[in-house]
Chain A
């Protein structure tokens, strides 16, 4: 299992080449090889969504994808959301509406919501609830996550 390969992709706009085993997950590659620990692992079996990142603007569970599969792709993680000191509207809305408690699931929810709102910022509440139901949060009971994403959607439509 130790035949390491070079893989090149961009993460948040920066090109990275890493040297990894074929079995290395994209999540581990981002966290350990790229030093981007904002992507969290909650279950490593594709249920909780904490590890959600965007690969070519599609939300994926980075625990279920091998790093080598991301060769040539454009990867976006939570670290790339804010521009300098200015928070992304979703980050700001999560802060304003107490959309996080322990904050462990937050990067996954933010990336999932980014992909949803970039595609459809006029999404209805039932559609949004359906789309966000792929990720788990254990602290908030979701009410404030829903409020946060709806508020960010309104902001992003402006």
Chain B
């Protein structure tokens, strides 16, 4: 029986259940220094000085660094969607002359004990002349630095004749929609442990996640190290959601300090720091207009939006704005389209990507708009969606512009078919009648539905090295990363299936830059598609090579042999002579290694629908999500148990974003959401049992 499609239990769970995981804070070596970052208490101002004498005088102080100490280290560059001429908006690793958000690193202190490091950090006094903070991304741009506007970029994606569409419109529907600032808020805060290895001259950074190979290159370049003198190591990672693992000032500071102070340096973020320093996302204001005919068909869609970028452009460049423009049309034809996204710098925590960047925002704006169109024309919102869907016959569908460096071409999709199936499955008519009856009885209860087109499998490549070892186990080394999504299990299933061996033979290695030369990491829902495809190729290659060796040893033609569990047997004579995988490895000179690469120019575009039944309490205005359904065409599931886990977890984060979560700032740019009692995550009390 094929292992693909089986809900096998996760291979990675045992250490996590027994308390023997190794998360960033669990990494310890001898002679460590602890770094504590001093952060700006002011949203915008001139940093005229730092009083550090008292901190230097503390008995536990090893070093206190300010911008002058790291003046030779450049600002952090762009990993994605670089646009020329934006370098001036990058973040320095310690603020130099200006502070641009509360939480910006302005100094770093180093001590042999973490409690002392906190004591010492409190003795560093910044001298800041406050300036008037920018908190509204829509207000007219001002000066970021001499000659530079707080509008860093304007991104436009357009096609078709928009003027003609609006001239021909039966009705124009216009909305202004605001999306709050959210972030991933993983349960594990960030951490970086930089260890200079005296005997090899190699600097090792533990606590890496998401994109270890890219960060290795970036750090080597920033610190002036040859690439072979730095390696990144991913341990257990306590949640990612897009925000963890990007290169941040603290990672660079820890590495620089380890090199310059000649001792291992450990930095573990606290929760307050996380909520003011790690990437936030999504905050934006959209003004959207749709030209529609009398049947609800959208003739043209015109959106202008302002993205609240925060104090600097970080590693993601302008990718969130780019993707919002690209993904707004979603599942609908929309013959004429224009989206204009303003990337506006404000005095808040800088932004990057957070789970489904651009799609969360675009899906909300588009689906809200479709509901209002239906309402305005007195039509059924399901009917309006059906009338606008791209048909199955139109696939593959070329949108007419690109994003994240690839042309947007929807690979497959039967949007109408999925919606019909979904509505049938949830007994839509019964549900609607039931809710209508409750409304008549005076309850404030309703049904809301949203359709989305997602993107996954971002290329351009993934490499895999697979080795059959002398002990008969198979090691699969990938450049992917694990952020808790079950990479090891999924890759092992694909590998074991391709080879014909059992799952227990396979070990999956990821996130180690000293084990494989290249790697893309884990983002953009890419790992199962990209790494999985590379593992498929590697498994087929290894199988054919090990059968050649077995054929030689058994004096049988390789095509007459089969792999079953841990042995190679003859197809013609299954009970006859056979070989253990370990014997084959020995026959091949100790081990057998194959390399494989998968490349692609295009992403895949899964799609689906969410439906919520929501009640509002009349007296308290409390909102209760009574039922929540998801219908999702994800293609072929490698492990349905893991797929369900991702969908349910994603839905919970989406509900949290819609109802609970928001990073709020006051008029002076002071963050108001600085503990988990302010930034509210969904709890189990709000969840229902899924069926």
Contact = CB atoms under 8 A, between A and B. Distances in A.
Interface in B156-192: 184-189
Interface in A134-157: 135-147
B648 interface: yes
A114 interface: no
Contact of B649 (A125, A135, A140): A140
Contact of B270 (A23, A44, A91, A125): A44
Interface string A85-109: 0010001001110101111111100
Contacts of A125: 689
Given A77-B19, A91-B18, A40 B238 contact: yes
B17 A138 contact: no
Interface stretch (B8-16, B61-69, B371-379): B8-16
Contact of A87 (B17, B648, B683): B17
If over half of A's interface residues share one DSSP class (helix, strand or loop), that class is named, otherwise mixed; here it is loop
Contact of A133 (B13, B20, B483, B683): B683
A102 B645 contact: no
A138 B239 contact: yes
Contacts of B681: 136, 138
Interface in A31-82: 31, 36-45, 47-48, 50, 77-79, 81-82
Interface of A: 1, 21, 23-24, 31, 36-45, 47-48, 50, 77-79, 81-82, 87, 91, 94-96, 98, 100-107, 110, 125, 129-130, 132-133, 135-147
Interface string B642-666: 1011001111110000000000000
B685 interface: yes
Contacts of A77: 19
Most chain A CB within a 10 A radius of its CB, from B238, B651, B677, B689:
B238
B187 A147 contact: no
Contact of B483 (A21, A41, A102): A102
A107 B19 CA distance: 7
Given A136-B681, A145-B684, A103 B18 contact: no
B677 A40 contact: no
Interface in B57-82: none
Contact of A139 (B20, B21, B25, B484): B484
Contact of A146 (B187, B241, B684): B684
Contacts of A140: 645, 648-649, 652
Contacts of A94: 13, 17
B690 A143 contact: yes
9 contacts: A40-B188, A81-B19, A87-B18, A95-B10, A95-B13, A98-B644, A136-B681, A141-B652, A143-B689
Nearest to B22: A37
B186 A95 contact: no
A39 to B, nearest CB: 7
A43 B683 CA distance: 15
